[in-house]
Structure 1
Amino acid sequence: MYPNLYYAFKDLFGIEINGLKLVNSFGFFVALSFILSAWILTLELRRKQGLGLFVHTEEKIKIGEPASLSELITNGLLGFIFGYKIIGAFTIKNALDDPQSFILSGEGNLLTGMLTALVFGILKWWEKKKVQLEKPEERIIRIWPQDRVGDIVIYAALFGFLGAKIFHNLENWNEFAADPIGSLIAFSGLTFYGGLICAGAAIIWYAKKHKISLIPMLDAFAPTMMFAYAFGRIGCQISGDGDWGIANPTPNPYSWLPDFMWSYTYPHNVLGEGVPIPGCTGPFCNQLAIPVYPTPLYELIICFVLFGVLWFFRNKIKVPGQLFSIYLVLNGIERFFIEKIRVNTEYDIPFNPTQAELISAGLVIAGITGFYYFKKVKPSI
């Protein structure tokens, strides 16, 4: 396992770069998944524009203005945070030994924070100065849905993270009640369906606000979200973030299957779970006492295959809304069955379901209903 990129580079390339201790492996792959998913979404929205499923909107912009006070303050604030924490981490003794605790603390370097704030402010002033006009002009520009992908991704990331934290704490209420502040600011503890629901609501609101045809946009999101989930699970597997399965001490019964794909102890996992690894010193020196099913590995493989299925059929399914309906069904089935071998909190009601099992069952029902609804009723797009 590689809790952060420092350990990955040390193991794979034999080089030690202390600054990489600040880059959490899980966060790195989640960030990559957003970047690559944004590219996939742009391709799909552009393709659907070519099919005449979207129309543009017009917006009035003003060009040639100097940097405003609010822009200078915003850039300066961002620069201060970057200098105070990120650059400051290299100037404070032992800060990189536990980057997460350092980032969440109030500790930092005031001097580097102030200098970086000044640099960021000057760069923003110079950026606007280069295109400043003697007399600012107003122009009307056309904006298509694919031009808004950057904003859409930001909304998805922000509300997805918020929803993931809320649903995780609802699912693990006792842990939250025991330490509310720690549960809210911890980097771990995220529930995918919470993120999906809240991000979905935010994106629907955004689409309506900017007059983007909703149903074609949801179809464009179908392969995009499956890809994002699959790629994000790479981070779960590599970092060992606790999204593993139930205990599986049974020896591998399949000669063709590598042992780590049958059961795994997640050595050097980012949570520090398990027992000490003999001979290991420093942080992240634990591994699980009993091997478990590597469910993140199973999910990333399955969901990449499902992404391929959705990508293949995106040109063949002509009824708007049906591709998104298929996504809901595939996503729900995959998650429902992986829950059977995954560690999760069960509700104390008949059948003892997990939160994800209840939501995934609802997604399957919604997907099947939607598929036949869109087939019979042409949606207003």
Structure 2
Amino acid sequence: MYNDILKIGSITIRGYGLMIAIGVLLAFLLASKRAHKKNLNPDTMYTLGIIALVFGFIGAKILFVIVEFKKILEDPSQIFSGSGFVVYGGIVGGALATIIYCKIKKIDFLPYFDLVAPSLALAQGFGRIGCLLAGCCYGRETTSMIGIVFQNSTLAPNGVKLFPTQIMSSVGDFLLAFILLIYARSEKSPGKVGALYIMLYSIGRFVIEFFRNDARGSVGLLSTSQFIALLMLALGFMLFNRDKLPWSMKRT
């Protein structure tokens, strides 16, 4: 795959960044359209979206540094590269920042979380297409008919058939966005759409990790992302069933 989509003089438009930009734009448009239907303030949605975007990128980069700390010590320039992000760091960083903002401004966080959950999945779907173009997040070698072969990648192994984990993840994210949109039509209890996003994404990420072969950190027998996926799955389950819990999560 080719990451350099277009060159205009000294400016190069790269597929990875382009796909992320498209995903973010469509995510905002989708959330804005649904905000009116849900009687939520579009301006608040945009503010929360920008906060989540900024701190999501910071969180994704921080977790990458933590996971790849030894490699960062050998080559600190990786910190400032256009690649090198861990999705879960972005989710956690963006969520924490928006929760804090909502607490300060006395805004109910959960309805807005439900609103943007399908948009998050949509943006991630485009982001994984960017991963395919860049060659990152690649899969294990395979002899199956679904394998793909990179020829000019600077990240993925070239000339060998690999599981198309980027495509698998992208399709899964788009499917997740569709499921959440359908579920949101009938579910009125605050927090459940967002909780479903956390649970389904965590399950999908846990499974896809078995097929990936790019350099990642580990926690025991699990990859770092699998370990975090289990924690997030538990969190999502508690949020989904918060009305049945005896403690303060009911009022989150």
Normalising by structure 1, we get a TM-score of 0.61
Alignment RMSD (CA, Å) = 2.1
Asked if 1:236 is matched to 2:131, the reply is yes
Q: Report the counterpart of residue 168 of structure 1 in structure 2.
A: 64
Match of 1:309 among 176, 179, 200: 179
Instruction: Give the letter for the 1:312 counterpart.
Output: I
The structure in which a higher percent of residues are helix is 2
1:34 touches 1:153 (CA, 8 Å); kept in 2?
no
1:223 touches 1:311 (CA, 8 Å); kept in 2?
yes
2:149 touches 2:161 (CA, 8 Å); kept in 1?
yes
- Report which of the two structures shows the higher radius of gyration computed on alpha carbons: 1
Q: Report the counterpart of residue 129 of structure 1 in structure 2.
A: none
Asked if 1:368 is matched to 2:237, the reply is yes
SS of the aligned residue for 1:319 comes to coil
**What's the offset of the Cα at 1:21?**
4.8
1:246 touches 1:293 (CA, 8 Å); kept in 2?
yes
Number of aligned positions between the proteins: 249
Instruction: Give the letter for the 2:234 counterpart.
Output: I
Q: Report the counterpart of residue 3 of structure 2 in structure 1.
A: 3
Deviation string for 1:195-244 (max 9, x for gaps)? 1111111111222233321111111122121111112111111232x111
Q: Report the counterpart of residue 339 of structure 1 in structure 2.
A: 209
* 5+ long unaligned stretches in structure 1: 7-16, 55-144, 253-261, 275-287
Aligned equivalents of 1:296 and 1:251: distance in 2? 16
Q: Which region of structure 1 is more displaced relative to structure 2, 363-372 or 302-311?
A: 363-372
Q: Report the counterpart of residue 101 of structure 1 in structure 2.
A: none
> Judging changes above 3 Å, is the alpha-carbon distance between structure 1 residues 317 and 338 closer, same or farther for their aligned structure 2 residues?
same
Aligned equivalents of 1:229 and 1:272: distance in 2? 20
Aligned equivalents of 1:239 and 1:174: distance in 2? 23
**What's the offset of the Cα at 1:20?**
8.3
> Judging changes above 3 Å, is the alpha-carbon distance between structure 1 residues 170 and 158 closer, same or farther for their aligned structure 2 residues?
same
2:151 touches 2:159 (CA, 8 Å); kept in 1?
no
Q: Report the counterpart of residue 95 of structure 1 in structure 2.
A: none
* 5+ long unaligned stretches in structure 2: none
Aligned equivalents of 1:379 and 1:251: distance in 2? 47
Q: Report the counterpart of residue 155 of structure 1 in structure 2.
A: 51
Q: Which region of structure 1 is more displaced relative to structure 2, 169-178 or 231-240?
A: 231-240
1:155 touches 1:199 (CA, 8 Å); kept in 2?
yes
Normalising by structure 2, we get a TM-score of 0.90
- Identity percentage over the alignment? 26
How do 1:28-107 residues align onto structure 2 when only pairs under 5 Å count? 28-49=18-39
Instruction: Give the letter for the 1:210 counterpart.
Output: K
SS of the aligned residue for 1:345 comes to coil
Asked if 1:295 is matched to 2:165, the reply is yes
Instruction: Give the letter for the 1:359 counterpart.
Output: I
Deviation string for 1:149-168 (max 9, x for gaps)? 33333222221111111111
Aligned equivalents of 1:340 and 1:379: distance in 2? 35
> Judging changes above 3 Å, is the alpha-carbon distance between structure 1 residues 338 and 273 closer, same or farther for their aligned structure 2 residues?
closer
Deviation string for 1:94-126 (max 9, x for gaps)? xxxxxxxxxxxxxxxxxxxxxxxxxxxxxxxxx
Match of 1:185 among 76, 80, 97: 80
Match of 1:24 among 9, 14, 19: 14
Q: Report the counterpart of residue 140 of structure 2 in structure 1.
A: 246
Aligned equivalents of 1:314 and 1:20: distance in 2? 45
> Judging changes above 3 Å, is the alpha-carbon distance between structure 1 residues 238 and 334 closer, same or farther for their aligned structure 2 residues?
same
**What's the offset of the Cα at 1:290?**
2.2
1:319 touches 1:375 (CA, 8 Å); kept in 2?
no
Q: Report the counterpart of residue 221 of structure 1 in structure 2.
A: 116
